[in-house]
């Protein structure tokens, strides 16, 4: 059911197409309201737990109200551009300049006529690829928690770029609702008693506690994430290649026919380390080519280096 009133009152002081373009990030962007609504709506449809289903459909529906609020802000900010374009009120050159100067993209102005379009702030169309659900509640709830914290941050940045008090207030509301949603998703995650690791299969215990110090040298740092009782730390990297005690090779059992074909392929493309052919880059080498091989061939003596660029370009 559509309610003609917005979830939060939108008061915009004056049109500002540049700001409207920035607001599009939360309309049709990766962390925007449409992405949030579709994420929770589809998760809710597939959910088997009555409590989570209700939670997801409640929040999905609220995100649609947020889409309406941010879309209304964008529409208000673009009212000037929309009127000027539709009525052709200015001289052509003046209108041409005003669209460019406002920071609004030509696509937004010409194709969408200043209306709220399902694009992000760079004009990229919304895509379902922003929704990363896997139909596994502990994985999806963690993703939802991260999505809410990302949306919160983007609202924070948008609040920082506008001095319009009415917009600041509405964005502050939208930002705060993402905080509330994050709290609900955290509760829903921890309402599942065994929520880590995700899924049914247990991890292999001898690998579940290992920390591998693969980046060694100055800057090595320790903390509870890599030292302490919870961790079997490996600093000697020769112990990890391979880590399973096997020989570390990759193998597959092939049919006799495929094996013979692969042997032919390998023989046909064998490389000969004893030949040192002159190639196209040797023949065409000019200044800046570095070391190349001479045409009369023969080995290391015939390697020469072209003059440096500065030397070659010096007046003769």
Question: Where do we find the tokens 């559509």?
Answer: 2
How far is 258 from 262, CA to CA, in rounded Å? Answer: 6
Residue 259: partners with Cβ closer than 8 Å, 6 or more residues away: none
Binding window for Mn ion (CB under 5 A); candidates: 17-25, 62-70, 216-224, 275-283: 62-70
Shortest distance in whole angstroms from residue 24 CB to Mn ion: 15
Written as six digits, the tokens of 17 are 């197409």
Vertex 113 angle, CA 107 and 79, to 5°: 125
**Chain residues 80-119 in contact with Mn ion, contact rule CB under 5 A:** none
C-beta of 96: minimal distance to Mn ion in Å? 37
Please give the full DSSP string across 85-150, using - where no structure is assigned.
Answer: HHHT-S-HHHHHHHHHHTT--HIIIIITTTS--SB-TTSPBP-GGG----S-HHHHHHHHHHHHHH
Tokens of 168: 């600041």
Nearer to Mn ion, 22 or 85 (CB): 22
What is each CA distance from 76 to 17, 86, 92, 95, in whole angstroms?
A: 9, 15, 24, 19
Count of chain residues binding Mn ion (CB under 5 A): 5
Considering only 25, 31, 63, 108, the residue that binds Mn ion (CB under 5 A) is 63
Least distance between Mn ion and beta carbon 148 (Å):
5
Between 52 and 181, CB nearer to Mn ion: 181
Residues 39, 52, 66, 152: which binds Mn ion (CB under 5 A)?
66
Q: Hey, which residues between 172 and 191 contact Mn ion (CB under 5 A)?
A: 178, 181
DSSP, res 209: T
Distance CA 276, CA 300 (A): 10
In the bound state with Mn ion, the residue whose beta carbon lies nearer, of 112 and 155, is 155
Residue 32 beta carbon to Mn ion: minimum distance, rounded to whole angstroms: 8
Interface pattern 19-58 for Mn ion (x via CB under 5 A):
--------------x-------------------------
Least spacing, CB of residue 33 vs Mn ion, in Å: 5
Residues that bind Mn ion (CB under 5 A): 33, 63, 66, 178, 181
């Amino acid at each position: 059911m559509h309610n003609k009133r917005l979830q939060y009152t939108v008061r915009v002081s004056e049109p500002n197409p540049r700001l409207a373009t920035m607001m599009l990030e939360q309309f049709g962007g990766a962390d925007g309201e449409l992405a949030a609504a579709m994420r929770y709506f589809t998760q809710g449809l597939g959910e088997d737990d009555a409590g989570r289903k209700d939670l997801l459909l409640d929040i999905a529906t609220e995100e649609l109200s947020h889409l309406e609020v941010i879309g209304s802000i964008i529409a208000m900010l673009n009212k000037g551009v929309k009127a000027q374009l539709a009525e052709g009120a200015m001289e052509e050159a003046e209108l041409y300049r005003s669209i460019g100067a406002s920071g609004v993209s030509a696509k937004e102005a010409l194709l969408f006529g200043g209306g709220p379009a399902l694009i992000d702030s760079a004009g990229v169309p919304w895509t379902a690829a922003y929704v990363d659900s896997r139909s596994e509640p502990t994985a999806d709830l963690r993703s939802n928690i991260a999505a809410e914290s990302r949306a919160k941050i983007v609202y924070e940045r948008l609040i920082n770029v506008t001095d319009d008090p009415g917009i600041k207030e509405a964005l502050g509301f939208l930002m705060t609702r993402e905080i509330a949603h994050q709290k609900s998703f955290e509760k829903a995650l921890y309402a599942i008693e065994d929520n880590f690791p995700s899924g049914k299969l247990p991890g292999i215990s001898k690998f579940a506690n290992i920390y591998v110090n693969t980046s060694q040298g100055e800057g090595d740092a320790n903390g509870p994430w890599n030292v302490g009782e919870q961790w079997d730390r490996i600093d000697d990297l020769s112990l990890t290649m391979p880590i399973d005690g096997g020989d570390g090779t990759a193998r597959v059992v092939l049919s006799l026919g495929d094996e013979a074909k692969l042997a032919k392929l390998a023989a046909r493309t064998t490389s000969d380390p004893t030949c040192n052919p002159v190639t196209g880059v040797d023949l065409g080498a000019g200044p800046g080519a570095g070391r190349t091989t001479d045409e009369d061939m023969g080995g290391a003596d015939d390697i020469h280096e072209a003059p440096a660029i500065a030397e070659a370009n010096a007046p003769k």
